[in-house]
Amino acid sequence: MDVIDFPDNLVQTQAAWNATYQALAAPRPRDTTALRRRLLRLSVQLWWHPYWQTAPSVPAARSELRHLARTHGAVRAA
């Protein structure tokens, strides 16, 4: 599959969504209401990002974005 060139803010939003989801899934998370609200806000930003109007295959691009954000987050953590 060809590598898709995503806007930086879209990759950062997906990485923030991943981090928020992990924080919410942790045992006994603190301030679950704030985490849930953040997750919802990030979900809306991801879903309605203008990039999706130009993507040739939105489902494949969304999957690639999730993969890219996971690997991007793993590189930052290392």
Q: What is the per-residue pLDDT across 51-71, written as a single tens digit (0 to 9) for each? A: 999 988 999 999 999 999 998
**Domain span holding position 72:** 8-77
Q: 70 lies in a domain?
A: yes
pLDDT at site 42 = 98
Residue 21: CB atoms within 10 Å: 15
In which band, very low, low, confident or very high, does the pLDDT at 2 lie, cut at 50, 70 and 90? low
* pTM exceeding the 0.95 threshold for the entire prediction: no
User: Do the domain assignments include residue 13?
Assistant: yes
Question: Are the CB atoms for 51 and 10 separated by under 8 Å?
Answer: yes
Q: Which of 44, 45, 25, 27 is nearest to 35 (CA)?
A: 25
Number of domains observed in the structure of the chain = 1
Question: Is 66 within a domain?
Answer: yes
72 — pLDDT class (breaks 50, 70, 90): confident
Q: Which pLDDT does position 74 carry in this prediction?
A: 59
